[in-house]
Amino acid sequence: MSWSLKGFSLLAIAAISFAAPTFSVSVNPLPLLPGETASVSVKAYTNSPPQGEFAGQPLRFVWDGESWVAFLGVHALTKPGKYHLRICLPSGPCQEMELSVAPKDYPLERLRLPAEKTVLLKPELVKEEREIVAKAYSTFSAKPMWFLPFSPPLKGELVVTSPFGLRRAYGNSPPSGFHDGVDFRAKEGTPVYAPAPGRVILAKELLLRGKMVILDHGAGVMSGFLHLSEIDVKEGQEVKRGELIGKVGNTGLSTAPHLHWEVRVNGVAVNPLTWLEKSFRPERPPFLKNQRAWLRLIP
């Protein structure tokens, strides 16, 4: 009798260790929208991150204290429809699901540039600069440095002169792309502040973008500030939320002083204004949550 019980418990252990471990995946918010951000959370207690892909875009997971999380940017020109998400744990099991991208139409804007500025649109100059910026935006540091929704990069009332996603055409040519950031009206010399903690990965004067600063906020989330009149940070420097990084200007391919602020998530340009409302993270660092739990135990 005791022998057969032992046999049963051995079988039970074998069954547990060979069963595929389950894990849960949540995506927030749904449905996805072109030009917007979403977070993909995976609850799985593994030592190394899951692997994931959304519509051909590799996802990069970082540990967020309670789960693995990847931040996902939906390209502004994504057509509405169903797109494939696949997540696999390092040990092998995978989950697949179809995610809906809902429609979102962006209006068309025609820009007229002064003749001396159109020379800046020469393809070889555009390409060279695009490579410098793409290289900076391809930086990846695993630790997300922000907890709160971003703070506005300008103080006072924000006046949007050109929203994110606007389809753009120069002169009479067909649309050459879309506006990959948001433009705020501001006078030359207005201070520009870091919207979230980050590390300066680019602080440089470029032909089209003018004086530009790029901040790496971690986990593939970055923001860029263009056409500045002055840069007040150095590459490699860490900045706090609200720290001065530069001043508004009209440098590069710009027709009047303004601040162009762009946010890249996993390499994809997304609407920065959404980041002023949502952090896409638990709003409290996990250690603070635990502290509160401990405090509740103290009479």
Binding site for Zn ion (CB under 5 A): 181, 183, 260
* Distance (Å, whole) CA 94 – CA 44: 12
- Residue 135 class from Cβ within 10 Å (0-12 exposed, 13-18 middle, 19+ buried)? exposed
Report, in Å, the least distance between residue 180 CB and Zn ion: 8
Expressed in angstroms, the distance from the first to the final Cα of the chain is: 52
Report, in Å, the least distance between residue 183 CB and Zn ion: 4
Pick 183 or 216: Cβ nearer Zn ion: 183
Report, in Å, the least distance between residue 260 CB and Zn ion: 3
Q: Which residue is nearest to Zn ion (CB)?
A: 260
Report, in Å, the least distance between residue 162 CB and Zn ion: 6
Pick 185 or 204: Cβ nearer Zn ion: 185
* Distance (Å, whole) CA 182 – CA 212: 15
Beginning with the edge strand found earlier in the chain, give each strand of the sheet holding 230-231 in spatial order.
Answer: 191-193, 244-247, 230-231
Say if residues 181 and 258 touch (Cβ distance below 8 Å). Answer: no
- 247 DSSP β-pair partners: 191, 230
Pick 129 or 183: Cβ nearer Zn ion: 183
Pick 11 or 108: Cβ nearer Zn ion: 108
* Distance (Å, whole) CA 234 – CA 227: 17
* Distance (Å, whole) CA 214 – CA 221: 11
Report, in Å, the least distance between residue 137 CB and Zn ion: 16
Pick 187 or 240: Cβ nearer Zn ion: 187
